[in-house]
Amino acid sequence: MTDHTVGPGVSGGLPSYPSTRASDPRTAEAALAIRGLVKQFGEKTAVDHIDLDVPVGSFFGLVGPNGAGKTTTLSMVTGLLRPDEGRIFVAGGDVWADPVAAKANMGVLPDGLRLFERLSGPELLSYLGRLRGIPADEVQRRIEGLLDVLDLTSAGSKLVADYSTGMRKKITLAAALLHSPSLLLLDEPLEAVDPVSARAIRGVLSDYCAGGGTVVFSSHVMALVEELCSHVAVMADGRIVASGELSAVRGDAASLDDAFFHIIGGQDRGTEGLSWLRSSRA
């Protein structure tokens, strides 16, 4: 056990582990492996005993309706929310028992969290790169490359507080890529992003995946998942209801959208109750 193990004596800590490595050999082969993960908020079980294996080099989409538990799952995987039960392995190392190795391997883009708003984009990246121990000139070289590819060079010394939504997603993605991690965890990376920024982000992610990196991202947009992903997992009510290669999950359905609707047991609702909406101005 390392120095950083969260032991039972620590307030809110997990039970002590027999080892920071998993006994199941499959977890060492996967880029990300989740076993029996549970999170409860009061009476509500947000994540209910989920297991998931994300193969190395895959582009993995996590889809599900609002409130399905996608963000909660990703928050626990990234070390930002403590699980009630279960274990998470990144490249075979336990995220919560051995966070040092896991965090060096992960790049994270959460949804709805702020950045250091009063720094400019290049300042933010320089700060985070140097905090991770990358030499200043190397950080500078990487920043120039990332800003150029993500079309943020023109933002110059503008503060992050003045960035648009698309620019914020792009600078957060740049921060996630800066230390060249082997796994990217992205929560709604293309939500509320303009088409030009979305194209830049998609291009970077596809290249990253082609280079051997693994991407896990959550999204509501089925067309996007269908276009980008090699694998997909569908979440509903805190559980994984389907998981595997995209073609297997889609099955015979015309589109992933239809398959998703069928898997989560959705029902088309009639609009008869709204007849007044088109027939009257009163």
CB 217 within 8 A of CB 191: no
CB 240 within 8 A of CB 47: no
Distance CA 271, CA 279 (A): 13
Nearer to another protein, 67 or 230 (CB): 67
CB 192 within 8 A of CB 15: no
Residue 128 in the binding site for another protein (CB under 8 A): yes
Residue 44 in the binding site for another protein (CB under 8 A): no
Residue 11 in the binding site for another protein (CB under 8 A): yes
Residue 131 in the binding site for another protein (CB under 8 A): yes
Residue 25 in tokens? 């050999």
Binding another protein (rule: CB under 8 A), the pick from 36, 156, 203, 244 is 156
Nearer to another protein, 115 or 149 (CB): 115
Residue 175 in the binding site for another protein (CB under 8 A): yes
Residue 17 in the binding site for another protein (CB under 8 A): no
Burial class (CB in 10 A: 0-12, 13-18, 19+), 131: exposed
Residue 28 in the binding site for another protein (CB under 8 A): no
Binding another protein (rule: CB under 8 A), the pick from 27, 58, 120, 214 is 120
Residue 113 in tokens? 């969290």
Q: How many CA atoms lie within 13 A of 98 on its CB side?
A: 18
Distance CA 167, CA 175 (A): 12
Binding another protein (rule: CB under 8 A), the pick from 51, 148, 162, 227 is 162
Interface ranges with another protein (CB under 8 A):
3-4, 6, 10-13, 78-82, 99-100, 102-103, 106, 108, 110, 112-120, 123, 126-128, 130-136, 156-159, 161-162, 175
